[in-house]
Amino acid sequence: MTLIADEAVFPSGLLLSGSESVHQVRLQLSRWVKAGRLLQLRRGLYALAPTWRRVEPHPFLVANRLQRGSYVSLQSALAWHGVIPEHVPVATSVGPGRPETVRNQLGTFQFNHVADGLLFGYSRVEVAPEQLAFVASPEKALLDLVHLTPGADSDDYLRELRLQNPAAIHVPLLEELARRSGKPKLIRVAQLVGPVVATEKGDTL
C-alpha cells in the first residue's frame, strides 16, 4: 500500500513494477477491494478507500483517467471557469472515445464523442494540489456544448445559459477556435456571442 499511498487514482499496472507476477497483483487487488481498502473505478483503474487515502481524487483527474484522450468540457468546464452559475454534479467530458456514462464510488462521469478534428482548445491545468487534468478553455467548452446541443446556435439558447462572467470569454479566441473547427454552426455562435460580450462585459448575459 505504501507505493500507492500518495496516488489519487492509479492503474493496476503501477503495481507490476515489482517482482510479483500479474496473477499475484490481480489477486492482491481483488483482496483489497473485497476488504474495503480499494475502490475499483473501472477495469484496471483504482483509488484508495477514504480511510486509507492521503489524497482526495479530484473529479476532473478521475474523468481523464477513466477515458483516455478525453478532456473535461461542456457544463463542468464552464462552471469551473465561473462562466455559468449552476453547480454541475456530473463531470462532463468530450473525447475520441464512445459516448458513455460511468458511475462509481467517486461520482458520475459523462463522456461525449467528438471527431478528432475538434480535439483542441484545452490544456493541462492544476485542479487540486499536485493533481493535473486536461480541461477545456471557457471558449472551447462553450463551443463544445453548442456543437453537441441541437438548436444551440441561437441568441435565445445563449441567454438561457445565463453566462455570468463574460469577461472570462476572450472573443477573438472564441472566433479563432470556431473558425478552426470549420463548423458553420460554431462560427455563427461566435458571431452571436461577440457583440453581447462586448456590450455587457461584467454583467449576466
Name the band, by pLDDT with cuts 50, 70 and 90, for residue 2: low
Residues 128, 107 within the same domain:
yes
Residues 10, 107 within the same domain:
no
CA distances from 159 to 67, 134, 146, 154 (A): 32, 27, 13, 9
- The dihedral through the CA atoms of 171, 172, 177, 179 has a sign that is positive
* Res 202: pLDDT: 46
Output the nine-digit C-alpha cell for 129.
494540489
Residue 14 vs residue 33, higher pLDDT: 33
Indicate if the pLDDT at residue 49 is higher than 50.
yes
- pLDDT above 90 coverage of the chain, percent: 67
* Residue 84: inside a domain: yes
Closest CA to 106 of 179, 19, 8: 8
Closest CA to 161 of 140, 178, 142, 175: 142
Residues 22, 84 within the same domain:
no
Range of the domain at 167: 59-197
Total of domains in the chain: 2
Indicate if the pLDDT at residue 57 is higher than 60.
yes
Q: What's the CA gap between 54 and 159, in Å, rounded?
A: 42
Residues 119, 36 within the same domain:
no
* Residue 205: inside a domain: no
Mean pLDDT of the region 127-135: 96
The reported pTM is: 0.90
Residues 30, 116 within the same domain:
no
88-109, pLDDT tens digit by residue? 999 999 999 999 999 999 999 9
Residues 74, 159 within the same domain:
yes
Closest CA to 131 of 15, 52, 41, 47: 47
Residues 125, 105 within the same domain:
yes
* Crossing angle of the two packed helices 184-199 and 171-181, in degrees rounded to 10: 170
9-32, pLDDT tens digit by residue? 999 877 765 556 778 888 889 999
Count CA within 13 A, CB hemisphere, residue 13: 1
Residues 159, 66 within the same domain:
yes
* Residue 204: inside a domain: no
172-198, pLDDT tens digit by residue? 999 999 999 999 999 999 999 876 665
